[in-house]
Structure 1
Amino acid sequence: MSGPPRPKPMPLLSTHSGRDPMTCLHRCGNACDHPVPNTSANPYLGDLVRAGMTRRGLVRLGAAGALVLGFGAGSAPARPAQAATGPAAAAPPSAGGELTFVPIPPNTLDAVIVPHGYDSAVVIRWGDPVLPGAPPLDVHRQTADRQAAQFGYNNDFVGVLPVGRDGRRALLVVNHEYTNEELMFPGFTTLEAMTTGQIQTAMAAHGLSVVEIERVGRTGEWRPVRGNRLPYNRRITALRTPFDFTGPAAGSSLLRTAADPKGRTAIGTLNNCAGGVTPWGTVLSGEENFNQYFVGGDQAPEALKPKLARYGISITARYPSGSRRWERAQERFDLAKHPNEAHRFGWIVEVDPHDPRSRPRKHTAMGRFKHEGANVIVAKSGHVVAYMGDDERFDYLYKFVSAKRFIPGNRRHNLMLLESGTLYVAKLTGDSPPAEIDGTGKLPSDGAFDGTGRWIKLASGQRSHVPGMSVVEVLTYARLAGDAVGATKMDRPEDVQPSLVTGKIYAALTNNTNRAVGTYPGVDEANPRAANKHGQIFELVEDGGDHTGDSFTWSLPIVCGDPADPSTYFAGYDKGAVSPISCPDNVAFDSAGNLWISTDGNALGSNDGLFATAIEGPERGHLKQFLTVPIGAETCGPFITGDDRSVFVAVQHPGEISGASLEKPASTWPDGDFAKPAVVVTWRLDGGPVGS
């Protein structure tokens, strides 16, 4: 049989942010050119204010305890940026050491640029060997087996976990979000023309890498450990790595497929974006834009189609724009034949890098959506609380509270903490009259974008709190559950991170150029600008400092963009002294509690970068640019080691510019031949703490 007709080559569509159309095609399947998946009638904040909801008084947060992962007794106390706090020693109630580096100016150079007095180096790049005996990268001989032993493509999340107590070695854990086939394969023409072998190679370039690294001398530089015995090194791929499901949805009918009739084992992980490090030494990884890997949604069962559409899967075309056509290599990606396969992605994945024989797990109790990542904090009660963002225009903020308590030193017990608990979604209200939120970004009369909110229960253990939905349905279709309870539509909530010093929560709201455009939802106090192309930083304070509670206050300390633009705001700091910033993506903290922000899609015309600011005290809002990445690249990570001597960033998709190819690259970073995604470490030349 001849098979279905081949679709025409997919055009690179127009972009609605600062990103190049090539990014839009490969990262999210041209999501901006598809209908917004959230078509619910949930009210926005202006409606809630009109309904008479008012702000309660701000509750001061008490001191938060700190439980840290150390880099050894021979070094300063280590506090990984994505690690967790806990009920141990009390920390100061304020945060923010002085950031003394001289900020670098915006630029469009094809290099990593760091401040005077600092240096940087590539730790590992696409195609470098990970497993013992792996061959070096040869783009003319690349196969799935070779790639499965090498460092994957488009590194995103970065975690660094210490090995031993002397601070000399660590495990670098990195997500590989997606692939740029134009920049990987010689002679590439279209996704449809790729061979099965090339598709399998791309699948092997997805997933995660675990690489043992060592400190270079007494500096803040790190490099991979080389040798024939690398017991921790590991590649996890979309091609063949098995994952166990945990939690209430594991084994349910929604997860069962012909290949897995018990619904308990998935193959691979897709579009892994950000993540986090747990206090028991594992890594959490978020599955994000998984929708673009599937075809055949138009032939899925009719009852399933609205649910597929809510997750951005086309139900009107067999081959939607942006489809990677992986069904030609593995039939499971054809929803006409295997409609439940899509349910097996969109989860939080937990990987134990200290046990290379362990099987990664997908935690259904934490809900299924387009996870940017998950970061945890141990509440005063001992319960673990994970904060999460759903990276889509007009989608939601979530948190998960474990059913069991964290037990210091009991790793076997702690490894099960994310398998059962309560999932919440956020509903916000502002405290200003709606007429004062006019879409321009002008501050209301009280001088701040702020308000209150509450966490609405979606599911607890085996119990659903959403009428008409079972607990399995709530968790598998968490977006629909959020719709049903009236959650607040946000401007692309991405990385969400608790401060280890204050216990406050910070989220990067990247942008939303559809806000208040046409029939899309209007502005509100948490999303105050129409056609928002620069994004904002969201600060959340749990009432009474109780991370397990159901009420909070919130504010926008930073409204991003050009400081000369009156629609921007930097916590009241003199805007003549701050760096311009656009499209915040990931956030992290140093041990002093300073907030570090990486960007994705700078709509101001310069390269993406890494920024830092104090979040308490007189320097709050004094944002300074620390680093820029090469042409076409996004700044991912970041990760600051607990001794503050090293900052890791993932330089993702350098040279991702329309028209570029392997033979005609738009960037030649880092080696001068063609572009390669890579992890970079930055350190102070005098050995002092980075930033301050």
Structure 2
Amino acid sequence: MQLPMLGLTHGKRSPVTCHLKCDSQCARPEPNASTEPTFAEVAGRQLTRRAMLVGGSALAAAAALPAVWPQQAAAHPKPGHPDHPGHGPLAFTPIDPVGAEVDLLTVPNGYQWTPILRWGDPLFANSPAFDPSRPNARAQQLQFGYNNDYLDILVDPRGRTGLLCCNHEYTNRNIMFPPTATAEQEAEVLKALMAAHGFSVVELERRATKQPWRYVRGGRRNRRFTANTPFRLTGPAAGSKLVTTAADPSGRTALGTFGNCSGGTTPWGTILSGEENFNGYFVADPAARGSKRYGLTNTPSVYGWEQVDPRFDATKPGYANEPHRFGYIVEIDPYDPSSTPRKHTAMGRFKHEGANIRVDNDGTVAAYMGDDERFDYLYKFVAKRKHRPGKSAEARRHNLQLLTEGDLYVARFSGTQRPDGANLGRGVWLPLVLDGRSQVPGMSVEEVLVFTREAADAVKATPMDRCEDVQPHPKSGKVYVACTNNTQRGTAGKPGADAANPRPTSTQPAGSTNKDGHVIEITEHRNRAGATTFSWNILLLCGDPTDEKVRTYFAGWDGPVAPISCPDNLAFDSVGNLWVATDGAPSTIEKADGLFKVPLEGRQRGHVQQFLAVPIDAETCGPVVHDTDDSVFVAVQHPGEDGSWAEQRSYFPDFVPAGHRPGKGAWRGPRPTVVQVTRQRRSR
């Protein structure tokens, strides 16, 4: 395996992960070659008449918004005080940072962890037993997939049954399966890898609340979605000539989903999943429209699927548009096993990290989305129809159409940099599609939705430091944006630091870049989901606060914090604390990724505390915090990533060591796993 990122990664990031997850995109020039304009340039830019009215008034309103300063935190309160870190439904003593080479999952004292589902676990009555020594595509279609990212646990009303819903982002052939001797054997491996991608819905059960879950093999609602599952395209671009292929001249049915990163759960009970790094799965004509902007190349793909399925070679006649059918938000109904999953073109096409929904009191529905690429953008979709509350069949049918039609916006930030890192400013949502009409001169609605990055370039959106998870707070309505890092910010020929992407700065060494990331807190005008203006501030400027060379900021908290880097997935608990899962250690220390709690209110605001740490080479994904149920869930992705079939680096979660003779069917290598962390119960 060639590793273009070898020697270019920082911290504990593996070049293997870079290659398999995102086609080593950081080793090539960024797809966004545009530079960031000034705020005045955006205000004066000539748009269509409708966009000029909306965008111009929004910019004026943004300029009139009062500045919102971060709340300053006080010193550490005494134990027993409501602001003490141990207070709340899920009280815990924070763990210390764990070394990156430790092959353990570390949790606080008084807690225990158990796996719920591991790669290869049989899901159906007719599922074969897990046996990676004999790769089989049909078997993998009936088993739990690989490398979960987004995760949710949907608990049924009585609390003893539920559904586990998660995606399977990418695979690592080198540690999953043995070397093959023939082309036929390798073709079967490639098909098995296709089947290990996608999504799973699996029934759960438990003896009582606050007890560990176990999955139900053969559950009625169990389901697998793979790289070959039919998905229905919805929205204005469905059926357009931009998404038709020889195999699908109607342009309405796309096969499969892959590269799925984070996602969201809707108030109407469906699951959203973002198709992110789809470019690495295709061979494409670099001269074709959109290829360069989306990172598509004419070199052999990362996975080699073009060897077993011609649609992954977009240079062949009839398949040029196949890449245009990926890069969307996928919606899956976990409660209806017979339903057809959908891809919503109205929400735009880019490298979706995920989508998360906010519903206002008046029923307005907004979805917040990040494009996870260096110097790409933050987006918002506002549905045309209003949400209907209730569980009636009529309300459900109505709500299932909410994401098929609406307005699409991209964010533009302005602001002021402060020496302490408490940057703040204002912003505007610039319209790309409004009232069913394109707001980008020279682009049709269909073009805006298929080539969304080009449309956002045209309206001069703010290039960001890799927007990953974007989460609206369930109580306050504020929106939190995880900007994981950008090692090219401020380098030669690239956009420099700005208030919303503040590294590098004059207080850091020459040539330093944003290796640790940050979190932005957004307050929309009048706290309305449909607002077109907002104010914002920096919540976290991540890194190791003990390193004098790296400027950090933790919402004004002036006490010690856990070192945190590369914020990725976000979640909230029942009392409104933010939980942050990381994908990278601070650039100055070699520590394992983890899950961190960050209070947002009171004197503890900004006090980062580490809850768990994942095993060697692994990333923490998909946090779910059911604190009133004494439970936390995470997806442990790519443990032992840098190993090989012959020399595995991790034995998580079963920990069968090398040299030990495992029992029949046992596997001594790593298995990406969904883990539950629960309180230890005292025996009677």
TM interval, shorter chain, is 0.7 to 0.9
Name the SS for the 1:573 alignment partner: coil
Q: Secondary structure at the match of 1:297?
A: coil
2:120 corresponds to which letter in structure 1? G
Report if aligned partners of 2:68, 2:535 keep a CA contact under 8 Å in 1: no
What is the distance in 1 between the residues matched to 2:41 and 2:651? 50
Correspondence 1:130-209 to 2 at 5 A: 130-163=123-156, 165-187=157-179, 195-209=186-200
1:43 Cα deviation after fit: 1.7
Structure 1 partner of 2:307: 328
Deviation sequence 1:225-272 (CA, Å, 0-9, x none): 24xx5210000000x210000000000000100000000000000100
2:287 is aligned with 1:294: no
Change (3 A) 1:182 1:44: farther
**Contact preservation (8 Å) 2:275, 2:353:** yes
Match of 1:124?
A: 117
Instruction: Note the C-alpha offset of 1:193.
Output: 10
Determine whether 1:230 maps to 2:219: yes
Task: For residue 56 of structure 1, report the CA deviation from its aligned partner.
Answer: 4.0
Does 2:94 correspond to 1:103?
yes
Quote the Cα distance in structure 1 between the aligned partners of 2:122 and 2:312: 29
CA distance in 2, matches of 1:194, 1:45: 57
CA positional deviation for 1:565 = 3.1
1:570 paired with 2:554, answer yes
1:366 aligns with 2:374: no
Supply the AA of the counterpart residue of 1:581: I
Provide closer, same or farther for how the CA distance between residues 328 and 29 of structure 1 changes in structure 2, counting only shifts above 3 A.
Answer: same
Superposed, 1:485-634 pairs within 5 Å as 485-530=459-504, 531-566=513-548, 567-575=551-559, 577-602=560-585, 603=587, 604-634=589-619
Query: Residue 557 of structure 1: CA displacement?
Result: 1.1
Aligned residue runs from structure 1 range 64-75, under 5 A? none
Partner of 1:690: none
- Structure 1 residue 462: deviation in Å? 3.0
* Cross-structure match for 1:69: none
Give 1:59 shift. Answer: 7.4
Residue 50 of structure 1, CA deviation: 14
Given candidates 431, 455, 458, the residue that maps to 2:429 is 455
Describe the superposition over 1:126-181 as per-residue Cα deviations: whole angstroms up to 9, x where unpaired: 00011222112101222110000000001111011123x21111110010000000
Pick closer, same or farther for the CA change 1:97–1:38 going to 2, 3 Å: farther
Look up the match of 1:476.
450
**Alignment RMSD:** 2.5
Structure 2 portions without partners, runs of 5+: 46-58, 70-84, 505-512, 656-667
1:205 and 1:643 map into 2 onto residues whose CA distance is 33
In 2, are the aligned partners of 1:15 and 1:24 still within 8 Å (CA)? Answer: no
Contact in 1 for aligned 2:3/2:15 (Cα 8 Å): no
Residue pair 2:86, 2:92 contacting (<8 A) in 1 also: no
1:676 aligns with 2:671: yes
SS in 1 for 2:469: strand
Structure 2 residue identity aligned to 1:256: T
The 2-side partners of 1:421 and 1:48 are apart by: 23
Partner SS, residue 404 of structure 1: coil
Identify if the C-alpha distance between structure 1 residues 497 and 220 changes in structure 2 by more than 3 Å, giving closer, same or farther: farther
Shift of 1:542: 0.5
- Once the two structures are superposed, residues 275-326 of structure 1 have per-residue CA deviations (whole angstroms, 9 ceiling, x without a partner) of 000011100000000000011324xxx4x24x11100112xxx315x63221
For 1:477 and 1:488, how far apart are their aligned partners in 2?
17
Q: Give the letter aligned to residue 344 of structure 1.
A: R
| Structure 2 partner of 1:343 | 324
Query: Which amino acid in 1 is paired with 2:188?
Result: G
Deviation digits for residues 41-68 of structure 1 (CA, Å, limit 9, x no counterpart) = 332679889999995443789xxxxxxx
3-state SS of 1:426 partner: strand
Partner in structure 1 of residue 234 of structure 2 = 246
Q: Contact conserved, 1:425 with 1:455, CA < 8 A, in 2?
A: yes
Q: Give the structure 1 partner of residue 53 of structure 2.
A: none
Counterpart for residue 66 of structure 2: 58
Q: Equivalent of 1:319, from 273, 296, 299? A: 299
* Contact 2:422–2:553 (Cα < 8 Å) also in 1: no
Structure 1 length normalisation: TM-score?
Answer: 0.86
5+ residue gaps, structure 1: 1-7, 62-94, 437-441, 688-692
**2:321 match: secondary structure:** helix
User: For the structure 1 residues 334 and 527, does the alpha-carbon distance in structure 2 shift closer, same or farther, using more than 3 Å as the test?
Assistant: same
* C-alpha deviation, 1:222, in angstroms: 1.1
2:327 paired with 1:353: no
Work out the CA distance in 1 between the residues paired with 2:181 and 2:580: 36
User: What is aligned with 1:429?
Assistant: 414
For residues 330 and 428 of structure 1, do their structure 2 counterparts lie closer, same or farther at Cα, with a shift above 3 Å needed?
same
| Residue matched to 2:374 | 393
- The 2-side partners of 1:521 and 1:362 are apart by 33
Contact 2:31 2:294 in 1 (8 A): yes
1:407/1:60 Cα in 2 relative to 1: closer, same or farther (>3 Å)? farther
Distance (whole Å) between structure 2 residues aligned to residue 50 and residue 582 of structure 1: 37
After superposition, the C-alpha distances for 1:379-400 in whole angstroms (9 at most, x for unaligned) are: 2321211000000000100010
1:15 is displaced (CA, Å) by: 3.3
Q: Does 1:380 align with 2:361?
A: yes
3-state SS of paired residue (1:150) = coil
Partners of 2:212 and 2:432 in 1: how far apart? 45
- Asked whether the 8 Å contact 1:654–1:667 carries over to 2, the reply is yes
TM-score (norm 2): 0.87
